[in-house]
Chains A and B, each alone.
Chain A
Amino acid sequence: KQEVTQIPAALSVPEGENLVLNCSFTDSAIYNLQWFRQDPGKGLTSLLLIQSSQREQTSGRLNASLDKSSGRSTLYIAASQPGDSATYLCAVKTGANSKLTFGKGITLSVRP
């Protein structure tokens, strides 16, 4: 059974800092991994999707890496801004027809 862990549950940083959010999963036989952002009272927005054959994906100030053998993914946010404050969720899919298994998320607060 796939389990996804995100630690810490919350993080507070000053504006401008580069930061790394961690995600770990127990079953390394994954199909893809996605990072989502959730704002309070809103739905999830997909940020990056990494296929199992890929090592990383980049979008603007975001970079996500994947190391299947160690069961880890990181989301790197460069030059953080107050607008980046949100909950970031990692989700893993183990097969084409399988479900997404979510971590509990990391609530990020970027202080002006």
Chain B
Amino acid sequence: DTAVSQTPKYLVTQMGNDKSIKCEQNLGHDTMYWYKQDSKKFLKIMFSYNNKELIINETVPNRFSPKSPDKAHLNLHINSLELGDSAVYFCASSQDLLGGAKNIQYFGAGTRLSVL
């Protein structure tokens, strides 16, 4: 069973469209994250949720809206897609925010978004 699964794996869409990426973790973790990896392979945090509450919100355009219906899910909705949104988006989870092994993050396989 995949621990952190995100769908779709590939997403090709036109500029201006609205799209969603879904993420689910079956590890029983309390904390989930969304990352963006750009064409230069630089990985940056976008959002972090702990027990469905927003903990980290980096400087991300408000076209990006995360939604956590429960602890096991953190979805990412993107409005009015732009060319610069093309990237690989990774979902991750960790047991909690505290130290030690509980802080290890487990990543999904990524969603490659291409905006044409």
Interface centre among A89, A93, A99, A104, by most B CB within 10 Å? A99
Number of interface residues of B (CB under 8 A): 26
Hey, which chain A residues are within 8 Å of B105, CB to CB? 34, 44, 46, 100
The answer on a CB contact under 8 Å between A32 and B106 is no
The 8 A-B pairs with the shortest beta carbon distances in the complex, nearest first, are A43-B107, A99-B45, A44-B107, A102-B43, A46-B104, A43-B109, A43-B108, A99-B56
For residues 60 through 101 of chain A, which have their beta carbon under 8 Å from a beta carbon of chain B?
87, 89, 93, 96-100
| Known contacts A46-B104, A46-B105, A96 near B45 by CB under 8 Å | no
Q: How far is the CA of A43 from the CA of B93 in the complex (A)?
A: 12
B interface list, Cβ under 8 A from A: 4, 40-45, 48, 55-56, 58, 90, 92, 97-101, 103-110
Number of interface residues of A (CB under 8 A): 23
Q: How far is the CB of B99 from chain A (nearest CB, A)?
A: 6
Q: How far is the CB of A54 from chain B (nearest CB, A)?
A: 10
Closest partner residue, chain A, to B31 (CB atom): A97
Question: Which of these, B41, B44, B107, B108, contacts A105 with CB under 8 Å?
Answer: B41
